[in-house]
Structure 1
């Protein structure tokens, strides 16, 4: 493994352990040339994936790019980082398990939106606004119409409505 600081090729592994979900091995490394310390992750890769862009261009699938786009959608949302990692790992596993080596960017985007819709409504709308290239407010309205009320939200709405019926107006 090449040192990210000095480019040395003889780095040494000081510690290895599985990640929380045991989907990867975390390795702490040190470079004997410069003394730099860094972490690497080793994951199972079922097959090499190629992404077919809308323009027809083909690029290698980049797990980190997928993770960054999901993290941007989830920025400042109350979602545990480990849950985000599980979501990304699950998406990559599903893509690799499809049996195809070429996958359209549209399919990846739709899968991400499905996952975000289950995880966090705000992140889903954020991702959809970029992925679907929203241009007007009505584009947001259409996506918001796709969201289903969550069970706890229904209870809050019913409770609020009942409170309003019980409290006489002061008009």
Structure 2
């Protein structure tokens, strides 16, 4: 493994442990050249998934891109990193266990929406605003009104 600080390939594993409900291995590494310490994760990848975009282009499924979009939706929300990782692992497992070699970006988006609705209602609305391309505040109001039961709106009196 190449050191992210000095690019040396002289690194050693200091600690390994299971992560993400035993679906990954977390390794703490140290660089023998510069002394830098960093963490890597190893995950099983059952197969390469292609994502068919709305514009017709195709791209390899990118777990990190999925994680970034979810973390943006959950920014400053009371959701810890472990919950996010578990949610992402669940989405990836569902995608990889399908019999199709190719999934649509719409399928991925719907799985994220489903998972976010169960995890955090504000993150769900934030993600929906980008995914569904809200143009103005009334789009938010219509979405929230339509999905109030799913959002678990306990504040409504």
The normalised TM-score by structure 2 is 0.90
Once the two structures are superposed, the pairs formed by residues 31-50 of structure 1 within 5 Å of their partners are: 31-50=31-50
C-alpha deviation, 1:20, in angstroms? 5.7
Mapping for residues 13-162 of structure 1, pairs under 5 Å: 13-19=13-19, 21-144=21-144, 145-148=146-149, 153=154, 157=157
**Aligned-pair distance for 1:44?**
1.3
Structure 2: give runs of 5+ residues left out of the alignment. none
Secondary structure of 1:30's aligned partner: strand
Deviation at 1:151, TM superposition (A): 6.7
Q: How far 1:149 sits from its partner (Å)?
A: 6.4
C-alpha distance in 2 between matches for 1:82 and 1:14: 22
3-state SS of 1:153 partner? coil
Higher relative contact order (CA 8 A, sep 6+): 2
Moved over 4 A (4+): 149-152
Q: Secondary structure at the match of 1:3?
A: coil
What's 1:169 paired with? none
Asked if the contact 2:20–2:86 (Cα under 8 Å) also holds between the matched residues in 1, the reply is no
Contact 1:51 1:60 survives alignment (8 Å):
yes
Structure 1 residue runs of 5 or longer lacking an equivalent are: 158-171
Task: Flag the 1:56–1:28 CA change in 2: closer, same or farther, 3 A.
Answer: same
Tell me the matched-pair count: 156
Cα RMSD (Å) of the superposition? Answer: 1.9
Q: 1:142 Cα deviation (Å)? A: 2.2
**TM-score of the pair, normalised by structure 1:** 0.83
